[in-house]
Every structure is written in structure tokens, then in C-alpha cells.
Amino acid sequence: MARRVGGGLVRVTSLVSPETDAHVYQPTAADSRALGSAALLIENGLGLEGWMARLGGASGFHGKRIAASATVEQRLMREGAATSVDPHAWQNPRNGMIYVRNIAEGLASADPHHADIYRTNAADFAAEIERLDQWIAEQCGDDVMR
């Protein structure tokens, strides 16, 4: 999402690769160096990256920090007898649109000279996600993701 919103104006470094479980990820020295020089840290939030606070302190990170999931409607998940907040909020397209807007605002805050570009990219991307949400509703019924 950050790559789409930032376009060619940003260099995105993902600390957790797609093949890795973010819940149990163990940051590396390279992650600490990358974060230490970053202007913006975009976290999922909702407890997904429990290790991020330690990494932020160890890296000397002084940039801006945002949670992409800020302002989403939190859903609960049940694991056995325990109930917790589901940190996978992006899986609902409506929340994905919120993530995109939050990322755009984070980028705009870190790089105000290009704020309009980030917001335009976010609006275009959110429109794509909205079309996907509509398609899902047509295929599966309107209440599937609600």
C-alpha cells in the first residue's frame, strides 16, 4: 500500500517479507539500521508487530510513526477461549481504504511538498479497492465483510 500511495517518490523497505510471520518476527541488525535512517515508519498496529517498540528504541528512530490501522473499526477474533483484537484489518476492503488514506496522511506529514501527489495516489487506489469491495458484495452478498 505504501508503494502504491508513494509511487516513485518513496523508497519502501519492508522489514517483514511476505513469506514471514509478522507475529513472531525477530528483527535483524539490518532492520535496525534501515529503521534508524527512515523518515517514516508505517506500522499495521493493532498489536501485530509486538516487537516494533523494541526495534524503534534500539534503532534510534526519530522519524514520524503512523499506524495504518488507526481509525479502523476493530473486529474481535476468538482463539479457543480467548478473545482479542484481530490485527488483520486490511483483509476487509473497507478497512483497506482507511489504511490507504492513513498512509497518505503519514507520507504527507513526512514530505509535505508532495502531499497532493500522495493524496491523489491514495484516492485512486482507494477507488480501486472500493470497486473490489463492490464486486465482492455482488459475488457473495453485501454482508460478507461486514
Instruction: Give residue 47's pLDDT band: very low, low, confident or very high (50, 70, 90).
Output: very high
**CA dist list (Å): 105 to 3, 68, 117:** 14, 10, 11
Whether residue 102 contacts residue 71, with contact meaning beta carbons closer than 8 Å, is answered with: yes
Each residue's pLDDT tens digit, 60-104: 999 999 999 999 999 999 989 999 999 999 999 999 999 999 999
Average of per-residue pLDDT across 124-128? 98
pLDDT at 72: 95
pLDDT at 97: 97
Q: Quick one: pLDDT at residue 117?
A: 98
- Rounded average pLDDT over 102-124: 98
Confidence of residue 144 (pLDDT cuts 50, 70, 90): low
- The predicted pLDDT at position 145 comes to 56
CATH value of 2-8+29-70+85-140 in 1.20.1250.20, 3.40.50.1980, 3.40.1280.10, 2.20.130.10:
3.40.50.1980
Crossing angle for the helix pair 93-110 and 115-140, to the nearest 10 degrees: 180
- Interval 8-43: pLDDT, tens: 999 999 999 888 889 889 999 999 999 999 999 999
Identify the H or E element spanning 131: helix 115-140
Annotated domain spans of the chain: 2-8+29-70+85-140
Q: Can you give the pTM of this predicted structure?
A: 0.91
Cα-trace Rg, the chain: 16
Whether the Cβ atoms of residue 50 and residue 75 lie closer than 8 Å to each other = no
